[in-house]
Amino acid sequence: MKRTIVNIWNFYVDGFKQMTWGRQLWWLILLKIIILFVLLRGFFFKPTLAGKSDEQRSEYVGYQLTERE
């Protein structure tokens, strides 16, 4: 089992070492993912409970769970 894992690891390490354009493409993919998550977090997933007291939070969550249609 250990030898199989080591062989798989070596396969991927050797593959990444021999890439020419692949490295730049992987960096581009990682950069795009980071930017995408930052934009999504900033514009679409704003924290609605930030700055509210515990009582206000519990009222908001209770309303969202029971009375929201």
pLDDT in single tens digits along all 69 residues of the chain: 899 999 999 998 888 888 888 778 888 999 999 998 888 877 777 778 888 899 999 999 888 888 866
pTM of this structure: 0.45
Number of folded domains in the chain?
1
d(CA 57, CA 52): 6
How distant, in Å, are the alpha carbons of 6, 24, 66 from that of 11?
A: 9, 20, 53
Burial 30-60 (b: 16+ CB within 10 A, else e): eeeeeeeeeeeeeeeeeeeeeeeeeeeeeee
What is the domain extent for residue 11? 2-66
Cα angle at 57 between 52 and 61, to 5 degrees?
145
